Every structure is written in structure tokens, then in C-alpha cells.
Amino acid sequence: DRELTLAAVDLGASSGRVMTARVGPGRLDLAEVHRFPNRPVRTGGTLSWDVLALYAGVLDGLRAAGREAGSIDGIGIDSWAVDVGLLDADGALLGNPVHYRDARHATAVPAVHAVVPPGELYRVNGLQHLPFNTVFQFAAMRGTARFAAARQALLVPDLLAYWLTGARVAEVTNASTTGLLDATTRQWAGGLLDRLDLPRDLFPALVQPGEEIGRLTAEARAETGLADVPVIAVGSHDTASAVVGVPAASEQFAYVSCGTWSLVGVELAEPVLTEAGRQAGFTNELGVDGTVRCLRNVMGLWLLQESLRTWSAAGLPADLAELLAAAARVSAFTAVVDPDDARFLPPGDMPARIAALCTETGQTPPQSQAETVRCILDSLALAYRRSIRRAAELSGREVEVVHLVGGGARNELLCQLTADACGLPVIAGPVEAAALGNALVQARALGAVDGGLAELRALLRATQQTRTYLPSGSAQAWATADARVFG
Ligand code: LFR
């Protein structure tokens, strides 16, 4: 039995983090060593990720990790999904990866559906229709000089791993978010690629979580001060790592991975590729250890984050803790909206968009900031209720408890409302589920712990703090609101 120190790189939509985890039998300690902003940039009408700044943040973080821990035994990287960097014939990056919230992707949806109708696409890739899925991004890029020069496409964590190691791979959990992977065979969907006229060699060979991607190049060693450390493939889709990081005690659980997005669903052994699943907007993303993440993307805390940004720019109070306290005092269901309305996707004035949707649906719009916050939280809890019930129906999985992980686990009002709305206990935490899942998969690959997801989760339960919220209040009120919003 040996203990290892692992660096977990976890990149979110608004910040990146490098954490170190000390892992061994009975031990799992996580510490944040570096945090840096992730600031998308708009140029020439396109919203892009500043991926070199992110890579610089990763290098700084790895250097800090090595300095604080003495030595590092492994590195794993996870980030948001779907977005790709294109490499030219020399392996150089062709411009910045475009942000999934850029407006261009949606315009390409009809072109893809004209070649592969939505029902057929779903039976192969099993993905919720989101206009930014990589398959649509490629259609939007077609005809650009950048696309013409592209020889390979790397998802963001794979791109960073390439710069660290020189190896080009496609980690499978994140590859499953592109829309170009077959959810049943867990291989690139060659037939789809051909029909969509996407060269097969744009897509590197798949690797599984736990495989070594490569070792730090001389350049990366010089930049970080680290030794010949292996970069291990983890669930490189942050949601895949977060689901590993759910401290579930049995299979009868649903999860809400709650950050900028809320990913709400169940963990299964097989995808649900039914027409009912498609109609309900369910995705079948691939998870660690051959699992399937049958979930829905709910718009998530983005609504709150963008509201705070809007208020702060207007010189209004924007202290989250104070607004949440005020929202807790507002009466429930002053107004409720479908948080997944497409108009909420792009950056912008969320309070105004929410008010407009309330008016359209015959409700009095929130009259204060506190009412707006309450409307957002009630609406999210309602969407979680709806999604968990649908996930259970579609999959036949019984759900006895909801695990809420990620930053949202700090939001007590949201956790309680979720318990109330679902009529189920909510176990909140860990906040850093993605980094923990990332570290655990590395630790197992390098021999510090063993077992399947159940054993990894037992270690989480033994070492991580959680808080339980029991359902309270009127179940009928939520049922009524559900019927009103989702009909
Ligand atoms: C969460 C997440 C979601 C994905 C969205 C966009 O961070 O990875 O799972 O749908 O970001 O990539």
C-alpha cells in the first residue's frame, strides 16, 4: 500500500484550478494550490476561449503543486466538454477554440439534420439536442480557412495533455459529448463521420480513463520544475469526473452536478436510446468504467452568475450571500420559469430575460433582486425534480436519494429547495467532486487504491464532508408548479 500525490487540473467555465490530492487506502485529502480566471474573449464577433492563458495557468499550478508537495506522481486534466482546438499539419493550434456559447453553432443545426435526421442522430450518439454539440460546431466551421487547414481536432483537456506530453489522444468520456461517438459501441461513429463529410483522421485514437497519455516533455518539465511525471487520462469531461466523485452508498441515487450547468440524472450500465429519451431531452454521455451518464443539461447557476454580473455592471448590490438570505425570505413560487429556455444560453441580461419570460407565461415578473434570485432557485429545483423523475422513468432505475455535488452544494437554499421539490433526501457535497473523481481515477491507475466505482465512493464517504437535507413543505405546491411550467 502506498500513498501518492496527484495533481488534478479542473477547468470550469469561469475559473481553472490545480489541486493536489494525497491518496492511499483510507486517505483522500484535497488541497487547492492554484486558481486562475477563465475569461472568454470576443473578437470579430466570435466568442473564444483563451486557451494559451489556461495552459499558462495549468503550468503555474503544476509548478506550485510540485513546490508544495515536494513531488507529484501523476497529473489528470478535466474540463467542460464539446469545444475543440484544431491542429494544422505541423501540429500547431489553428486559432482559439470557439466557446460553446457562441451564436454561430445554432445556425448550423439544420444543415446537420438535413443529412442525418434528429431521430437517427440520437439512436447513434444518444445525445440531448444541444445546439453547441461538436457535431454542429463542425458544420458551422465548414468553409472556413481554419477548417480547411485542420488535420486533427482535440477537445480542450486533450489539447492541454498534448502540450504537456506531445501525445494526441481523445479521452472517451469527453469524446462522447461531441455527437460523433457511437453510444453503444463506444467508438467513433465512422458512418456518421462519413455522411457528414468529416475526415476520419481528424479524430485521434480513443483512450480510456486510467490509461497513461504520456509523460511530461522536456519543455513541460522545464516550465513546471516537475520530473518525468505521467499524465493519466481521467474522466476528462468534468461531469464524468464529478459523477465518480459522488459519494453514493448504493445504485439507487440520482445526481445533480451543480456548477455553471446542472447535470441531472442517473448512472447506468447501458444507454437509453429510445424515442422517449430523445423527446425528454436526455443525453447518454459515457462515464468512467464503462458506465453511462443518463442526464439532462439544466441551465444551472449560469442564470444566477449572469444575473450577478448584470447587477454588478449596473451598480446594484451583487453580494451572493446577502441576496440568497433575502431570497430565502421571499415567498415561494412568486414566479417560475423553464430554466432551459433557449434564450438563456448566450451571455446577457438574465434578469430582463427572466422577466420577459414571466410576462409571456402570464406571471407577474419578479419585482426585486431577491425575487429574481428566488425565481431562479425555485425554477432550478423544479427542473431537477422534473429531470430526476424522467430519468427514473426512462431508465427504470429507482431513486432513493439525490446527491448534489459541485459549487452548488454550498447553496443551502438551493439544496433545501431541491429536497422539497424532489420529495427526497439531498446529500450535498463534496463541492470539489470533479477534482476528487479526477484524482481517484489517477490513484487507482497508479496503484494507490483499487476496486470499482463502489470502492472509490466508499473512500469518498469515509473522508469527505457532506450535509443532508430532508424534504419539507408542501409536495402539492411543487406538483402544481411542475404542471404549470412544464405542462
Ligand atoms: C459542465 C459541462 C457540461 C457540458 C457543458 C458544456 O461543466 O461540461 O457537462 O454540457 O459543460 O461543455
d(CA 273, CA 183): 9
Burial class (CB in 10 A: 0-12, 13-18, 19+), 315: exposed
Please name which of 18, 75, 88 lies closest in space to residue 443, comparing C-alpha atoms.
75
Instruction: Kindly tell me if the per-residue pLDDT of 1 is higher than 80.
Output: no
Tell the residue nearest (CA) to atom 4 of ligand 1.
81
Instruction: Kindly tell me if the per-residue pLDDT of 393 is higher than 80.
Output: yes
The ligand 1 atom at the shortest distance from the C-alpha of residue 130 is 10
Q: Match 497508479 to its residue by C-alpha cell.
A: 446
| Cα 25 to ligand 1 centroid, rounded to whole Å | 31
- Distances in Å between the alpha carbon of 59 and those of 7, 34, 389? 11, 10, 43
For residue 258 and ligand 1, the question of a CB distance below 6 A is answered with no
| Cα 304 to ligand 1 centroid, rounded to whole Å | 17
Instruction: Kindly tell me if the per-residue pLDDT of 73 is higher than 70.
Output: yes
pLDDT at 304: 98
For residue 333 and ligand 1, the question of a CB distance below 6 A is answered with no
Please name which of 241, 249, 234, 174 lies closest in space to residue 403, comparing C-alpha atoms.
249
Instruction: Kindly tell me if the per-residue pLDDT of 330 is higher than 70.
Output: yes
CB 452 within 8 A of CB 440: no
Interface TM-score (ipTM) > 0.90: yes
Please name which of 7, 2, 22 lies closest in space to residue 463, comparing C-alpha atoms.
22
Q: Which of 177, 243, 438 for mutating ligand 1's site (highest number of atoms within 8 Å of CB)?
A: 177
3-state secondary structure of 206: strand
Beta strand pairing call for 4-11 and 74-79: parallel
Tell the residue nearest (CA) to atom 8 of ligand 1.
80
What is the SS3 assignment for 408-424? HHHCHHHHHHHHHHHCC
Q: Which of 136, 173, 297, 405 for mutating ligand 1's site (highest number of atoms within 8 Å of CB)?
A: 297
pLDDT tens digits, one per residue of 125-169: 999 999 999 999 999 999 999 999 999 999 999 999 999 999 999
182 counts as catalytic: no
The torsion angles phi and psi of 270, rounded to 5 degrees, stand at: -135, 150
pLDDT at 106: 84
User: For residue 207, what are the contacts with CB-CB under 8 A and spacing of at least 6?
Assistant: 169, 170, 171, 172, 213, 233
Please name which of 380, 425, 386, 436 lies closest in space to residue 403, comparing C-alpha atoms.
425
| Active-site annotation holder among 73, 78, 83, 238 | 238
Instruction: Kindly tell me if the per-residue pLDDT of 487 is higher than 90.
Output: no
The strand pairing partners of 85, in sequence order, are: 154
pLDDT at 2: 85
Cell of 434: 470533479
Cell of 311: 447587477
pLDDT at 105: 84
Instruction: Kindly tell me if the per-residue pLDDT of 56 is higher than 80.
Output: yes
d(CA 300, CA 323): 17
Q: Which of 15, 238, 340, 405 for mutating ligand 1's site (highest number of atoms within 8 Å of CB)?
A: 238
CA triple 144-149-150, angle to 5 deg: 95
d(CA 66, CA 226): 6
Mean pLDDT value across residues 279-289: 97
d(CA 391, CA 254): 8
